[in-house]
Chains A and B, each alone.
Chain A
Amino acid sequence: MNRILLIPRLRIHNANALSSPYTIGFPALTAWLGGVHALQRKLNADGLPQLSFSRTAVACHRIDLQTYKHAGDYLYSIVGTGNPLDKSGERPSFIEEARCHLDVSLAIETQGIGKANEDEFLAAVNRHLPKLKWAGGDSLGYKAPQWLAIAGDNELANLTRKLMPSYVLKQRRDLMAQAMTEGQDAIDALLDYLAVHYQSRTDDDGHVSWTAERKAKGWIVPIAAGFHGVSALGHAEHQRDQITPHRFAESLVTLGEFVMPHRLKRLDDLLWRSRYDADNYLYLIEQHSRNA
């Protein structure tokens, strides 16, 4: 039995759309799982110490990205917001921040909550949820959280229909790994899947027709799926606390596919979890892979 906390129709204002140094749009998975973890900590401290949130899906109902494009422009620009002024009252050197407004539903796989403390659990969720930030954005409201128990993949539809209409991310790192195994470097592998490839064909009568295709079927996008440590683990001056091991890190980007949740057949294709791969310095947000 998989126990799922469903937070329907969370409306978020000004979330961070700069998901990595290479991508803009749907906020990074690390930000969503970070928010879910923050909620868990609050609930742990509020009478539910045994509770843990193990995996999460974020269903996107609507997203408005704050970018603009003038007529004739090829590139979009970021809609800038006023930065806080510095000490001397000057605008600081400009850092562009990309924002978005969005409606999502969260499906959070939960451990440590039984029939006995179900009501207490939902009441605590309602106490803490309004105060949380999501991907740096403010929560403007949500519909009543629900508590579901589903018997694995067989009853997946009981969950996914509650997420409709929306799109959820499915991991497609396999596509990029395959291209890299065949010799492409990470940028070429990524771009090849994102480009629209225009090709022409001449038929027997000499008639020319052009086609526009992507390399793979499905709505394939680059996604920020964790971090890569780029320095040794240790301690640094000016770190947020002096106890936690610290290191410098960069964004980790791979491919994902936006699909409508009711298309999915396995819970493992819906839910994302975090995992640390110490050997490769990787801090991953990933889906359970059958090969792992």
Chain B
Amino acid sequence: MMDPALQQFLSERLKKKTSSAPNEAELQQELNDWLPTAVTKTHKLFRVTHPVKFSHPDVKNTSEIRVSAERKPDGFLRSGNVAVEPDMVFDTAANIPILKFLSLKLADGLSILAHLENDSDLVKQQLELPSLPYTDIRQGLLQINQLPDRTSTSDKIKQVYFPVDGGYHLLSLLTPSGLMFKLKERINSIRFAETTKQAREARRNQQHHDTGYQEFYGLTEIGFGGTKPQNISVLNNQNGGTAYLLPSLPPPLTLNKLQPPKTDFFLQSVYAKHFLEKFQALHALFQDNVPANIHVREGRDYWLFQIAEQVMETVWALRELPGGWSEHGQLPPTQKIWLDQDHAEQREQADDWLDAVIVALADWLAITYKHAIGERQAKALGDAELKHFRQLLDDHREVLR
């Protein structure tokens, strides 16, 4: 009895020749006719892990690579650290049916190729033909695992020098298509999972869901091979010629087009409401009744400096403005030095202005804390606290410079 997968494969082939549904004898005849020719062509097909045509579709006659690297918990996405099947490449599209044939999954779920590698009785029985002895068929088809004995790269492959011990190694960069498409498969299996759909729906309706779900943002799609993805590799063809790229970008910097302050930075450029959460966190620690232990003190300093840093974000943004804007305003001289790009050199060379900024910023912290929390709730801050604020800012003075 012919395996159903094999039957279907041969029926598809015969469909092009006859319109009627073929019987088993006709299928057997097709196999007998086709397979010996296929066997003679298999030496031009290769199982590889790094198909060169991902580097450039016109690359020809280079080494074919099938790497087996060791798995190690080294923290790297690389060959060896994910189980993937090799990809397959071929000389002309006319030979794609051979690859399809080898990939056919027999009734037990293993591919014909895997069966041939195991030399199983099942595949022997399926491929016993009058036209060619089974041993020849097996040997011929397994040539797909034999890679050409040549070491050749190409000017179409990116070659980079990497410094090694005072000299260099030259690296020809290839794409591990198995890994690249496994990444896409994993992302899609999460995106399109039934539980993901249910959980998304539950969240939309503000209902509970036991497992929750995961979402990936900012993915980019990249294409290989244009309208002919099959010319790049079998995996590329199976993936419609597209893979996913993960975003690798810094957070956006909020260097908005700010209005420069006219008379006072603290009055016109920073607003208490933008610091509310941080002041509330600070307030919670001020209220802590535990005799001031190291964690509480460190926690206060942490939030104070978080606030100071946020102030600096506005300072940095103002320094991005074309220099000279402070010239005609009524800003205190120390703020002109602090904020205007034109005074960059002065900021480097002098320190007195920075001392003044530290005093002003410490005052602002105390006033804004009271303002943000409310006069009645806020802890009364005295000279000791103010002195501590100044000391803290002074410890980080280079950040404020």
Contact = CB atoms under 8 A, between A and B. Distances in A.
Interface of A: 18-19, 21-26, 30, 34, 37, 60-63, 65, 67, 74-78, 86, 92-96, 98, 157-158, 160-161, 164-167, 173-178, 180-181, 185-191, 194-202, 208, 210, 219, 221-225, 227-231, 233-241, 244-255, 258, 260, 262, 274, 276, 280-283
A248 B65 contact: yes
24 contacts: A18-B245, A19-B248, A21-B180, A24-B222, A34-B161, A62-B255, A93-B226, A164-B316, A177-B75, A185-B81, A186-B81, A191-B187, A191-B214, A197-B213, A221-B248, A231-B63, A239-B153, A246-B170, A247-B169, A248-B153, A250-B50, A276-B169, A280-B72, A283-B162
A77 B242 CA distance: 11
Nearest to A93: B57
A274 B183 contact: no
Interface string B181-201: 011001100100000000100
B1 to A, nearest CB: 39
A249 B172 contact: yes
A75 B399 CA distance: 39
A173 B174 contact: no
A231 B65 contact: yes
A244 B206 contact: no
A236 B75 contact: no
B398 A248 contact: no
Find the residue from B165, B247, B316 having the highest chain A CB count within 10 A.
B247
A238 B398 contact: no
A195 B57 CA distance: 33
Nearest to B57: A93
Given A93-B225, A185-B81, A187-B82, A195 B176 contact: no
A188 B76 contact: no
A208 B249 contact: no
A255 B76 CA distance: 8
A236 B37 CA distance: 33
B122 interface: no
A200 B208 contact: yes
Given A229-B171, A239-B153, A244-B169, A77 B220 contact: yes
A280 B74 contact: yes
B364 interface: no
Contacts, number: 304
B25 interface: no
B73 A180 contact: yes
A167 B251 contact: yes
A202 B206 CA distance: 10
B77 interface: yes
B213 to A, nearest CB: 5
A281 B80 CA distance: 12
Contacts of B206: 208, 210
A21 B245 CA distance: 7
Contacts of B42: none
B155 A196 contact: no
A173 B245 CA distance: 19
Contact of B77 (A63, A165, A254): A254
Contact of A198 (B75, B203, B231): B203
Given A230-B69, A246-B153, A246-B172, A186 B76 contact: yes
Most buried by A among B73, B77, B206: B77
A76 B221 contact: yes
A43 to B, nearest CB: 15
B286 to A, nearest CB: 24
Contacts of A188: 186
B317 interface: yes
Given A22-B183, A191-B186, A231-B63, A249 B171 contact: yes
B312 interface: yes
A239 B213 contact: no
Given A94-B223, A95-B56, A187-B183, A246 B169 contact: yes
Given A92-B58, A198-B212, A228 B76 contact: yes
A201 B208 CA distance: 7
B203 A78 contact: no
B175 interface: yes
A98 B220 CA distance: 10
B50 to A, nearest CB: 6
Contacts of B246: 22-24, 190, 194, 221-222
Interface in B270-318: 309, 312-313, 316-317
